[in-house]
């Protein structure tokens, strides 16, 4: 390395040479703002990244652990480790103090939703408290029957829905793995999208091939903007959770999709349907079935 760089300059060079998604860019900006404030308190100078040592990183880890979960720290560590690796690879910094700084996380069962709660959720969309109910009912059912992520939902366009062949195209620019996929639509998913389109027609909304498929801003003035955002989807689920007295989210609908499938089909099929690049991600949805274990143990020879 020939000259020192500030943390912001390192990120700027990294962003210039890397095709970052808008959400990743936004997250890096918030992480860097946080680091600029807190590394100064630890005695490092963010205007010269060479002054940020492993000792500073580990002491910052203690600070974060005191107020947040290990998962939060690992997210910080992963992002900064990638940033410093770029610096090392391009001779911008000598060492990477973020190597092997992740925390171990206790593995817990993924939180899923019962069919009873999902039934109550759909009923709540018709209560008049969560308008437009027909729209949000379609959102819940589509997420449940497809397992797609929130960002994939808002990324759908009119042309992505193939009504004749019951198919849905998930675009690469809204995919976590940057891969375009075509998924089959079961009867429930197809019905959910058809109900959505009927609702649009009743409101006098014409859906073009390049228009956002799920867009609440076109049918309800309470929502601002020209297109629906992830934030608006999350806001609906927060209000729905308040209405039900139990937590429900797009992410938990995806967990429910994966868990229910894992109990019924082979793990490779689950991986494909969930769009996981690494099967280890899919294995998190496979939970021990006590009755299957009991049946397996019953096969032991009797003494």
Nearest residue to 253 (alpha-carbon basis) of 150, 109, 113, 122: 113
Quick: pLDDT tens for 145-179: 999 999 999 999 999 999 999 999 998 877 777 77
The per-residue pLDDT of the chain, averaged, comes to: 91
Tens of pLDDT, residues 70-98: 999 999 999 999 999 999 999 999 999 99
Between residues 280 and 241, the one the model is more confident about: 241
pLDDT score of 296: 77
Give the residues across from 182 on adjacent strands: 169
pLDDT exceeds 60 at position 2 = no
Among 151, 179, 14, smallest CA distance to 80 is for 14
Residue-wise pLDDT for 256-265, tens only, equals 999 888 888 8
> 121, 264 in Cβ contact below 8 A?
no
3-state helix, strand, coil in the chain (%, to 5): 55, 5, 40
pLDDT band at residue 288 under the 50/70/90 scheme: low
Q: First vs last Cα of the chain: how many Å apart? A: 70
Q: Where are the domains of the chain?
A: 7-89, 115-283
Domain 115-283 maps to which CATH number in 1.10.443.10, 3.40.190.10, 1.10.3720.10, 3.40.50.11390? Answer: 1.10.443.10
Read off φ and ψ for residue 178, nearest 5 degrees. 60, 30
Is 0.75 surpassed by the pTM of this model?
no
Whether the pLDDT of residue 110 is over 80: the answer is no
Predicted confidence at residue 220, as pLDDT, reads: 93
Which of 38-47, 177-186, 232-241 is the least confident region? 177-186
Contacts of 303 (CB under 8 A, 6+ apart): none
pLDDT at 3: 66
pLDDT of 203 above 60: yes
Task: Grade residue 266 by pLDDT with cuts at 50, 70 and 90.
Answer: confident
Per-residue pLDDT, averaged over 252-277, amounts to: 89
């Amino acid at each position: 390395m020939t000259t020192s760089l500030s943390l912001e300059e390192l990120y700027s060079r990294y962003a210039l040479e890397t095709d970052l998604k808008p959400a990743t860019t936004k997250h890096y900006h918030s992480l860097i703002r946080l680091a600029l404030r807190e590394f100064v308190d630890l005695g490092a100078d963010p205007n010269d990244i060479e002054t940020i040592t492993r000792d500073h990183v580990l002491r910052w880890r203690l600070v974060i652990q005191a107020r947040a979960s290990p998962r939060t720290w690992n997210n910080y560590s992963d992002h900064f480790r990638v940033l410093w690796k770029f610096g090392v690879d391009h001779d911008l910094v000598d060492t990477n103090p973020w190597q092997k700084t992740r925390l171990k996380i206790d593995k817990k069962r993924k939180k899923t939703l019962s069919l009873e709660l999902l039934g109550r959720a759909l009923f709540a969309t018709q209560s008049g408290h969560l308008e437009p109910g027909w729209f949000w009912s379609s959102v819940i059912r589509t997420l449940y029957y497809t397992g797609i992520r929130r960002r994939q939902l808002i990324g759908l366009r009119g042309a992505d829905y193939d009504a004749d062949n019951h198919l849905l195209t998930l675009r690469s620019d809204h995919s976590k793995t940057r891969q375009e996929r075509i998924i089959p639509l079961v009867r429930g998913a197809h019905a959910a999208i058809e109900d959505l389109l009927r609702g649009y027609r009743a409101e006098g909304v014409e859906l073009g091939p390049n228009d956002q498929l799920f867009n609440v801003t076109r049918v309800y003035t309470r929502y601002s903007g020209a297109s629906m955002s992830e934030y608006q989807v999350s806001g609906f689920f927060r209000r729905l959770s308040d209405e039900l007295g139990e937590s429900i989210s797009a992410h938990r609908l995806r967990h429910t999709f994966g868990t229910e499938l894992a109990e019924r089909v082979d793990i490779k099929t689950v991986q494909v349907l969930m769009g996981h690049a690494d099967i280890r991600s899919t294995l998190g949805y496979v939970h021990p079935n006590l009755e299957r274990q009991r049946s397996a143990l019953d096969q032991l020879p009797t003494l």
